[in-house]
Amino acid sequence: MNMHTQPQRTPAETALIDAFGDRLSLLPGDGAVMLKRDDAIEAIKHGLPTRRVESWHYTDLRRLLNAVPDFDPAANAKAIAPIVDGSTVVSILNGKSDAKVPVIEGVTFQPLSEKLIDGSIAPGLDPYGSDDAIGALNTAFVADGYFVDIADGTELEKPIELQNLQAGGQTHVRLPVRVGTGAKAVIVERQTGDGAVLGSSVSQLVLGEGAEVTWLIVQEQPETATHLAQFKAHLGKNSKLTVFFMNAGGKLVRQEIVVRTTGEGADFKLRGINLLAGDTHTDVTMVLDHAVPHTTSTEVIRNVVTGKARGAFQGRINVHQYAQKTNAKMACNTLLLSDDGEFSTKPELEIFADDVVCGHGATVTEIDHDHLFYLMARGVDEKTARGLLVKAFVAEVIEELDDEAIVEALEARLDGWFVTHG
Amino acid sequence: MPAVQDTIDRVRKIDVDQYKYGFQTEIAMDKAPKGLSEDIIRFISAKKDEPSWMLEWRLEAYRRWLTLDEPTWARVHYPKIDFQDIYFYAAPKSTPGPTSLSDVDPELLKVYEKLGIPLREQEILAGVQKTDASELEEVSDNVYKSGRVAVDAVFDSVSVVTTFKKELAQAGVIFCSISEAIREHPELVKKYLGSVVPTSDNYYATLNSAVFTDGSFVFVPKGVRCPMELSTYFRMNERNTGQFERTLIIAEEGAYVSYLEGCTAPQRDENQLHAAVVELVALDDAEIKYSTVQNWYPGDAEGKGGIYNFVTKRGDCRGDRSKISWTQVETGSAITWKYPSCILRGDDSSGEFYSIAVSNGYQQVDSGTKMIHLGKNTSSRIISKGIAAGFSQNTYRGQVSAHRKATNARNFTNCDSLLIGDQCGAHTVPYMEAKNSTAQFEHEATTSKISEDQKFYVMQRGIPEEEAIALIVNGFVKDVIQQLPMEFAVEAQKLIGISLEGSVG
Amino acid sequence: MLEIRNLHARIVDDGTEIIRGLNLTVKAGEVAAIMGPNGSGKSTLSYILAGREDYEVTEGDILYNGQSILEMDPAERATSGIFLAFQYPMEIPGVATMEFLKVAMNEQRKARGEEPLKIPEFLKRVKEAATSLSMDMAMLKRPLNVGFSGGEKKRAEILQMKLLEPKLCVLDETDSGLDIDALKIVSDGVNALRSPDRAFLVITHYQRLLEHIVPDSVHVLYRGQVIKSGDKSLALDLEANGYAGVIGEAA
C-alpha cells in the first residue's frame, strides 16, 4: 500500500473501514484467519494506492473508487448456462457458494467458508506484496468461494466453469484450485452479474508436476460494476499453463495476473483481449516471475478501445538471478478507435540472469488502411469492413487456443460484444 | 577536441586504476562555506554579480525546494544525501572571470590538456594531419576527421574559458558561460531560462535553479547555421563540491547548432553530487543536436565513491518543423538518473533519443527519455542500448505519450540490453500512453547476453577475449555511435572498451 | 606439424563423450582429409582444435609444432597459426567486415612482434585477396557475415584465411551450401595457399570437395576415432561404396 503519509481519508476508504467493523461478526474464520483480516484492514487504513505507487500507475484507485455500496444480503443471483456446452458448473451466487455441488470423479469441490472456519486456508490469505490492495481488500472481507482439488493424474474431458455471479452490494470471493501431478483440465472463470456491485475475486492456482491447465477468464460485468480481480498461479516442474482473459465490461476493472514458475521446464502462456467501450476504466497488470532455470513464457495481449474508454496493460517479467536459460516474449497491440479513448502500455523487463532471451513488443495503431481499402475494393462497405478487421485483430488471439469448442464459445462472446458495441 | 583520438591512450597512462581521469589538481580555490541556506544563495548570486531578478528567481526555487521530497521511483539506491555537507560554490581563485586564455591559471590549462581537450585555439586551428583519410573512410565509418570546435570549459563551479568567441560572434552566435549571459544578455535569459524546465519541475531541477553556479549559454539567431561544433567540458575537482551547472541553448527560426558535452571528475572516496539542468528551445524549422559523453568517476571496484549524477535535460520543440536530437554515451557516475526529453509542441516537429549506457562495478543507471507528443504530425525515435556488467544495475525508463490533439503522432522505440556476467541486472520500463486514435507507436525490446558462438568466432581469429567482447559490444551500439559527431564517436568507442575492462571473469 | 594422441573429449554440459581415443598426425605441407558419416565427431574435432570451451579434453593430447595447445585459449591458438574456417560463420552485427579484418590482422601481427599494418598496405592486401576470390569490396563494408548468403560467408572465411596467413588450416565442411561455381572459387583459393610449410585439415562429408582440393591423405572418422587411413583413393572408394563397408571392416 501507499506508504506516503495520507491526507484525509476518502469516503470510499472510510466506507470500507466502517464496513469491516459492521461485518466483523458475520465473517467466517478461525483465529489465524481473523488475524490476517486484521492485518489486511490495517493496510487499507494506510490508504488505497494512488498513481504514485508504481504498480498502480495507471489506476489511481484512491481517486477512481468513489462509491462503495453497502452489503446487500437480499440480493439474489441465479446460475447461468456455461459458455462451453456440457461444462461442470459450480456457482457462487452474490458472494455465497451454491448448496448444489456437482460430483465428478477425481475432483473435490469444497465451499471456501468451511476452509475459513477451520483455518486451513489462512496461509494463502497473505497479500503478495505491499502494493497488493486487491489481496488486502479480499482478505479482509472474503466470506466464501470454492476450494477445488483435482487429483493426481485426473484428465478432465469437459471444462469446469466457476461462476461468480453478482446481484448487488459487495461480494468478496476466493477460488483456490490445486491441480495434481500430471492432471489435465480446462477451467473457466466466469465473472458477470447485475447492478452497481463492488466485487473482489482472487483465484489461486497451484500446478503440480507435469500438470496442464487452460484457464479462461471471461469478464462481462455491467458498466456499473467495480471489479477487482486477481489470478495467482505457481507452476510446478514441467507444468503448462495457458491463461486466456477477455475483459468485455465493468465500470472500473483491474485484473491482476501474478504468475511464478517454481519448477524447471514450466511453460506459461498468457493470451488476452480487452474490449473497451463506454466511459470505463480497465487495467490488466501482470507480474511474471521466472524463478527457476529453463522456463518459458509468451504473452499476447490485444486491445480494442472505443468510446471514452481508458485502458492500461502493465506487464512485468522478472527473471531471477538463478533463472538461467529463460525464454520470455511479450507483445501488446492496441487498436485505438476513438479520439476520446486512451490506452497505456508498460511492458517491463527486470532481468538478473545473463543467459536468457527476453523481449517485448508493443504497438498502438489505427486500422490498417491498406487492408481496409482492399476489402472496400471488393465491395464491402466501410463500416462492415472496419468491423471485420477489428474482429479479426482480436479473434487471432482466441484462435490460438486450439480447442474447437472453446474457440467457438469465445468467438460467440466476441460476436455478442460487437453486436452491442460495434 | 582534435587529439581527442589519443585522449584515452594518453590519459590512461596517467593513472594505474580503471578510471583514467582520476587525477586531482592542486589549485587555489575560492569556496563558500559548506551547506545550503538563503545566505549561501545570496553569496553565490553576489559572487556572480547577478541582477536582483536572478537572485529572486533563485530564492523562490530554494523556498520551493524546501517543501519537496527526494524522488524514490527510480531504480537506484544510495544513502540519504546530506545537503549541509556539500560546498555549493567553489571557483579557482585566480579567475574572477578570465577574458582570454592568457588569464587562465596554467595549472588549469594543464588539466584540460591531460584530458585531451585543447583550449588553445591555435592548436585547434592547426587541426590534425589528414593523411590517408580518404582511404581510412573505406575501412570504416569511424574515421577521424578533424574539425573545429569551440570549447567552454567549466571547472567546479565556474566557466574558466570559452574559445572562439570572436569568430562565433561574427556569425551572430552567442556562446558564453551562463553567468556572463545573465550579465550581458539578460533579456534572452529572462525570456528562456526556466521556460522548458520550470523551477518547480522536480527535486533536483529545483535545487539546481536555486544554486546553479555556471554552465553554458548558446544563442543561434534566426537563419544561422552555427559555423562550428560547440562543446563544454565539465570537470569536478574540489572535494565535497556539488556541481550544479545550467545550460540553455536557443535556436531561433531556421537555426542549426550541434553541441557536445563531456564530463570527468577525480577519484575520491566520498560521493559527489552533480545536479545539472539543460534546457533547449527550438523555434520554427530550427534544429538542435545535443551529444553527451559522460564519464564522471564511477566509484572504485568495491563501489566506494563516485558521482551521483541527477540531471534534468529537456528540449522544447516549440516551433513547427523543429527538431531536437539527443545522443548520449553514459559510462561514468556511481548513479545516473537522467531522462533527456523532447516536448513536441510544434506541428511536424520531431525528437530523437540515441543512448548507450554502460555500467560496470557497482554502478546504477536509471536513464531513458520522454517523448511528449502535443502538436500535429509529430514524430519521435528512440534507440537505447544498455550494457550491464559486474554488479551493476542498468535500467531503461522511457515514456512516449500522444495527447488528445496530437493527430498522427509517430514513435518508434527500440531498446536492447546486453548482460555480461550473472551478477548484474538489465531492466526495461517503457511507458506508452496514447490518447489519440491516429497515433502509431511501435516499441520493441530485447535482453540477451553476448553469444558464446560470436565470442568464439572472434577469438578464433586471434582477438583476445576482452577485445573480442569490446568489439562485439561496439557492434551492438553501432546504431547510436553513428549519431555522434566524428571526434566523439572515436572517443566513445574507446571509452566503452575501457568501461568494460575487468568485466570478464 | 599436428599430432593428436589418444584424444578423448566430451561435451561439458552433459558429459557426452564425442571423441574416443583419436590419433592423427599431419605433416607440414600435407593436406589431410577427414571424412565420416554424420555424428562421427568431425565438427567437434575442429572445435576442439580451435579451443572451444564447450568441450573438455579428458585424456590424450594435441601437439602443434611439438607443443601441447590444450592450455591455450582460442585467441592464443589463433595467433599461433591455427585457423578454423567455420561451417556456419557467425554474424556479428554492427562490426564492419573491414574493421574486423584490420583488428584480427593486427592482433596476429602484434603476437608476432610486428608493427600494425599501415592503412594503404592493409587495403592493398584486402583488395588483392578479395579480387582473387571474386568478392566485391562493397560487401566488406557490411557488418561481418550479416545478411551474407551461404556462399558469401564461405568466401569470406577463405578471405580471412588468406589474410591471416595461418600455418594450420582447418576447413569444416567448407563445401556445404556452395554451388559448383562457388566451390571452384573457394577451392582455388585454398589451393593457392598450399605450401610446404602449411598444413590443411579438410573436413568433409562428401568426396566432391576432394576433386578440387586433392588430399595427400584421407582419414575416416567414426564414433570419435580414426578407423581407417589411406590416400586419395580411399575417398573414391567411400564415394562408390559408402561408409558401411569401412565401418564393418573396423568393427
Mutation pick from C73, C92, C170 vs chain B, by most beta carbons of B within 10 Å, is C92
Assign A53 to helix, strand or coil.
coil
Q: Which of A86-100, A256-270, A341-355 has the highest mean pLDDT?
A: A256-270
Which residue in chain B is spatially nearest to C143 when comparing CA positions?
A: B475
Q: Looking at A103-143, which runs of residues are DSSP E strands?
A: 107-111
At B202, the pLDDT band (50, 70, 90 cuts) reads very high
> CB-based contacts of C80: which residues, under 8 Å, 6+ apart?
C64, C69, C72, C111, C167
Checking if the pLDDT of B136 tops 50, the result is no
Mutation pick from B379, B417, B443 vs chain A, by most beta carbons of A within 10 Å, is B443
Whether residue B475 and residue C122 make contact (CB cut-off 8 A), yes or no, is: no
Summarize pLDDT for A319-333 with one digit per residue, the tens: 998 888 888 889 999
Position C149, amino acid: S
| Closest residue to B461, CB basis, from C78, C119, C120 | C78
Percentage of residues of chain B with pLDDT beyond 70: 77
- Can you give the pLDDT at residue C102? 92
Summarize pLDDT for B302-325 with one digit per residue, the tens: 888 888 899 999 999 999 999 999
Checking if the pLDDT of A269 tops 70, the result is yes
Assign B215 to helix, strand or coil.
coil
- Can you give the pLDDT at residue B83? 87
- Can you give the pLDDT at residue B264? 67
Would an 8 Å CB–CB cutoff place B450 in contact with chain C? no
Spatial separation of the C-alpha atoms in residues C77 and A234, rounded to whole Å: 48
Alpha-carbon distance B336 to nearest alpha carbon in chain C (angstroms): 26
- Can you give the pLDDT at residue B76? 86
Cβ-contact C9, C46 below 8 angstroms: no
Which cell numbers hold the place of B431?
511507458
Cβ-contact B481, B383 below 8 angstroms: no
- Tell which wins on pLDDT, B459 or C39: B459
Spatial separation of the C-alpha atoms in residues A173 and A170, rounded to whole Å: 10
pTM of the predicted model as reported, rounded to 2 decimal places: 0.85
Percentage of residues of chain A with pLDDT beyond 70: 98
Average pLDDT over residues B123-143: 35
Whether residue B426 and residue A349 make contact (CB cut-off 8 A), yes or no, is: yes
- Using a CB-CB distance cutoff of 8 angstroms, which residues of chain C are in contact with residue B477? 94
Please give the mean pLDDT across all residues of chain C: 91
Alpha-carbon distance B287 to nearest alpha carbon in chain C (angstroms): 28
- Tell which wins on pLDDT, A267 or B29: A267
Using alpha carbons, select from B442, B422, B308, B305 the residue that is nearest to residue B366: B308
Count CB neighbours of C67 within 10 A: 11
Using alpha carbons, select from C8, C12, C3, C11 the residue that is nearest to residue C20: C8
Whether residue B460 and residue C94 make contact (CB cut-off 8 A), yes or no, is: no
Is there an interface between A and C (3+ Cβ pairs < 8 A)? no
Count CB neighbours of C61 within 10 A: 13
Element (H, E) at A252: strand A252-261
Alpha-carbon distance B22 to nearest alpha carbon in chain C (angstroms): 29
Spatial separation of the C-alpha atoms in residues A191 and B333, rounded to whole Å: 51
- Using a CB-CB distance cutoff of 8 angstroms, which residues of chain B are in contact with residue A343? 433-434
Checking if the pLDDT of A113 tops 60, the result is yes
Cβ-contact B245, B204 below 8 angstroms: no
Phi, psi angles (nearest 5°) of residue B256: -140, 140
Please give the mean pLDDT across all residues of chain B: 81
Element (H, E) at B264: strand B256-264
Which cell numbers hold the place of A70?
453497502
Spatial separation of the C-alpha atoms in residues A349 and B430, rounded to whole Å: 9
Spatial separation of the C-alpha atoms in residues A347 and A362, rounded to whole Å: 8
Which cell numbers hold the place of C111?
603476437
Mutation pick from B460, B472, B476, B496 vs chain C, by most beta carbons of C within 10 Å, is B460
Whether residue A351 and residue B427 make contact (CB cut-off 8 A), yes or no, is: yes
Strands in C225-230's sheet, in edge-to-edge order, are C82-85, C168-172, C199-204, C31-35, C217-222, C225-230
Burial string for B153-180 (b: 16+ CB within 10 Å, else e) reads bbbbbbbbbbbbbeebeeeebbbbbbbb
| Closest residue to C79, CB basis, from B462, B468, B475 | B462
Spatial separation of the C-alpha atoms in residues C10 and C57, rounded to whole Å: 7
Would an 8 Å CB–CB cutoff place B133 in contact with chain C? no
- DSSP assignment of B366-390 equals EEEEEEEE-STT-EEEEEEEEEEET
- Using a CB-CB distance cutoff of 8 angstroms, which residues of chain B are in contact with residue A324? 422
- Tell which wins on pLDDT, A286 or A3: A286
| Closest residue to A362, CB basis, from B420, B438, B443 | B443
Checking if the pLDDT of A159 tops 90, the result is yes
Alpha-carbon distance B301 to nearest alpha carbon in chain A (angstroms): 20
Whether residue B475 and residue C74 make contact (CB cut-off 8 A), yes or no, is: no
Percentage of residues of chain B with pLDDT beyond 90: 46
Average pLDDT over residues A110-126: 94
Percentage of residues of chain A with pLDDT beyond 90: 76
Work out the burial of residue A410: count CB atoms within 10 Å of its CB; fewer than 13 is exposed, 13-18 middle, 19 or more buried: buried
Phi, psi angles (nearest 5°) of residue A171: -135, 140
Assign C57 to helix, strand or coil.
strand
Residue in this structure with the C-alpha cell 580503471, named with its chain if needed:
B18
User: Which region among A302-306, B24-28, B386-390, C152-156 has the lowest average model confidence (pLDDT)?
Assistant: B24-28
Spatial separation of the C-alpha atoms in residues A251 and B447, rounded to whole Å: 37
Position B139, amino acid: V
- Can you give the pLDDT at residue B290? 95
- Can you give the pLDDT at residue B268? 63
Spatial separation of the C-alpha atoms in residues B150 and C201, rounded to whole Å: 58
- Using a CB-CB distance cutoff of 8 angstroms, which residues of chain A are in contact with residue B376? none
Which cell numbers hold the place of C153?
560467408
Checking if the pLDDT of C210 tops 60, the result is yes
- Can you give the pLDDT at residue B213? 84
Please give the mean pLDDT across all residues of chain A: 92
- DSSP code for B5: G
- Torsion region of A281: left, alpha or beta (phi above 0 gives left; psi -120 to 50 gives alpha): beta
User: Which region among A18-32, B165-179, B339-353 has the lowest average model confidence (pLDDT)?
Assistant: B165-179
Mutation pick from A53, A281, A303, A350 vs chain B, by most beta carbons of B within 10 Å, is A350
User: What are the structural domain ranges in chain A?
Assistant: 18-421
Count CB neighbours of B130 within 10 A: 12
Would an 8 Å CB–CB cutoff place C123 in contact with chain B? yes
- Using a CB-CB distance cutoff of 8 angstroms, which residues of chain B are in contact with residue C83? 460
Architecture of domain C2-250: 3-Layer(aba) Sandwich (3.40)
Phi, psi angles (nearest 5°) of residue A260: -135, 130
Summarize pLDDT for A170-212 with one digit per residue, the tens: 999 999 999 999 999 999 999 999 989 999 999 999 999 999 9
Spatial separation of the C-alpha atoms in residues A195 and A221, rounded to whole Å: 9
User: Which region among A288-292, B158-162, B335-339 has the lowest average model confidence (pLDDT)?
Assistant: B158-162
